[in-house]
Amino acid sequence: MAINTIKFDEKGLIPAIVQDVNTGEVLMFAWMNRESFKRTLENRIMTYWSRSRQKLWVKGETSGNIQEVREVYIDCDADCLLFKVEPKGVGAACHEGYRSCFFRSVNIPDGEFAVVGEKLFEPEEVYNK
Which spans of this chain sit near a copy of itself (rule: CB under 8 A)?
1-3, 5, 15, 17, 19, 23-26, 28-29, 41-42, 44, 69, 71-77, 80-82, 94-96, 98, 101-113, 116
Q: How far is the CB of 129 from a copy of itself (least distance, A)?
A: 21
CB nearer to a copy of itself: give 74 or 120.
74
Q: How far is the CB of 112 from a copy of itself (least distance, A)?
A: 5
Rounded to whole angstroms, the Cα distance separating 110 from 13 reads: 33
| Secondary structure string (H, E, C) spanning 52-106 | CCCEEEECCCCCCCCEEEEEEEECCCCCCEEEEEEECCCCCCCCCCECCCCCEEE
Q: How far is the CB of 124 from a copy of itself (least distance, A)?
A: 15
